[in-house]
Structure formats: structure tokens, C-alpha cells
Amino acid sequence: MSETSELTELYSAIEESARLFDVPYSHDTVSPILTAYQDAIPNSSIAFRMGTGKRYSNDVDWRFTVPPGDVSPYDVALSHGLIESTGHPVFSLLPQVAERHDVNFYGVDFGVAGGLKKMYVAFPADGWLRLSTLLDLPSMPPSVADNLDFFTRHGMAGQQIPTLSIDYRHRTVNLYFNGLPTDKDSVRSIFQDLQLPQPSEQLTTLSERAIGAYATLGWESSKIERFSFSIVAENPADLPVPMEPEIEKFLTGIRHRAADDKFFYYAAASSTGEEIYKIQSYYRFKPWLNPMLESESAAPDSRDD
């Protein structure tokens, strides 16, 4: 990618987002990623995100979409040294998905400080998958099958899955569900079933606005590591809960926003009982690339984690 004014502005926005949260910024960390995907980025939807809690306190994440093609974003990452396969099944999952199923587009997540972290796969609107289909993938974490009864009890086993994401750093998978009940009683029932502390009033209030939810699972344990709800808002100030100080800082500090931006707000609970809140804004927004917005009940992430 040549050093055009557009690219210069993108680097500036990334650096600014790091400065806002006192995150170390290194051009040497960011440049290899943008260079590797230089052909896709000019037409990508680009977003950035921050979150509360220990896991998100030392980085700011950026993400961009990648169209399907002869070379997958996973192969690009390998060839440019952005990830290094160790033989763990997390590294074979995306190729298996791409080989067996149609892909609408891919996404790549990277941290300003941490480098490439995650990739996601969005399926065509007429090709969303069911959990039973994903269970046929040899590299899918065994924890997905281990929790099939949980997914069935809470109406997720029969729901369509528009997106899944693969976190190479933490070796986890996010499965995004659309159409499940997210009223307060249903959310409390989910938490009880997961043996998590009962959710706060803030989380259950937000969940009522959710357009979808996702579960985070790994290979090392049968436990669901996080359960999260995805909320979209034209203006986060209109949400029925107060914003965390870190998110207020994000909202008042960002300058690079798409004119037709949609904010995504995520409310999550981890297996430790910690509640986590994340917010995402778009640097460049292309709604036709976002499976969350193609259906009122669909879930992303492009969405995380």
C-alpha cells in the first residue's frame, strides 16, 4: 500500500486511539498488518474498539473486512509472519470453514500494541449455519459439543449462526447467535445455568436491547469462558444505563468517525464472574458488509471477542 493521504490519515487515527488510552503505539507493529492486507483495506469497513476489565486495559483494537478470494486472510497472515501455526487446531479451523462453506467476507482484528489477534468469518444471508453444522468441523473445540445441552435448553441449538470468530492469541472461538430471547429472566437463567454470579441490573437492562449474543469457548476446558450480548445504538447516550468512565473517555475523545456510524456496545460476563463492557465505533462504515445490520435480529462481530 502506497503512502497515500488516505493511508496517512488511517495511521494517524490508529495512533490517536492509542494515545487516548495511553497504549504504546509502534508503527512497526501496525505497518506489517496494513501492508499485508493492502489490497483489501481501501474498500474495507474499518472499526475500532475498547473495553473495560483487565483483558482490554492495555490495548485498543482495530478491525477491517477482507473479501473472499483465492487467498484467505489466514494464509496472508501466515505468509507475512503475522501468526505462526503450532499445529494447534485453532490454526486449522478457518481453512476448514472456508473449504466447506460459502463466505460473505472475512475480518481481521489487531491491537495497536499487541498486533494481529483474531479473524472472523461472516456467512451469506442465505447461508447462515446451525450449530449442528459447525460441530462437523474436525477442529471445532470439543467444548462446543460439551455444551450442546446448554445451547439446546436456551434455544440456541436451532438458531442460525451468521458469524464466528477465531482468537489465535487466546485460542478461543466466538459463536454468534441470532434470535434468542434476551429479556431479563432469560438472561438470568443463562447465567444461572453457567454457574455465574447473577448479572447486574445494568447488564440485564442492556441485554433487553440486544440484537444477538455470542458464546466464547476454547479447547482447554469445557466451560463457556464468556457470554456476551451485542447492542447497536445510534447514540450511546440514549442507552438506558450510565457509561463506564473508560467508555465516556472513548466517546468524548474519538475524532475519526464515519458519518453514518453505528455504535456497537457489548455487555459480557466471564467465567470468573467479571462483567465486561466494550464499545465499537466505525472509522469507515459500509453497512452492506455488516451481517448485524442486514437483519434486525442478527449478531456479529464483526464483531468480539
Beta-carbon contacts of 132 under 8 Å, excluding residues fewer than 6 positions away, are 157
Give the pLDDT confidence of 99-152 residue by residue, as tens digits: 999 999 999 999 999 999 999 999 998 999 999 999 999 999 999 999 999 999
Give the pLDDT confidence of 232-247 residue by residue, as tens digits: 887 777 788 877 788 8
> What band does 163 get if pLDDT is binned at 50, 70 and 90?
very high
* β-bridge mates for residue 165, sequence order: 120, 174
Indicate the average pLDDT of the chain: 87
**DSSP secondary structure letter of residue 18:** H
Residue 300 has pLDDT above 80, yes or no: no
Q: Identify the residue whose cell numbers are 467476507.
A: 105
Higher pLDDT, 43 or 93: 93
Mean of the pLDDT values across residues 244-270?
Answer: 77
Distance, CA of 273 to CA of 200 (rounded, Å): 11
Mean of the pLDDT values across residues 38-58?
Answer: 85
pLDDT at 173: 98
Q: If DSSP codes are grouped into helix, strand and coil, which group holds residue 153?
A: helix
Give the pLDDT confidence of 62-77 residue by residue, as tens digits: 999 999 988 899 999 9
Mean of the pLDDT values across residues 200-212?
Answer: 92
Distance, CA of 176 to CA of 107 (rounded, Å): 14
What angle, 0 to 180 degrees and rounded to 10, lies between the N-to-C axes of helices 27-36 and 5-20? 140
**DSSP secondary structure letter of residue 90:** H
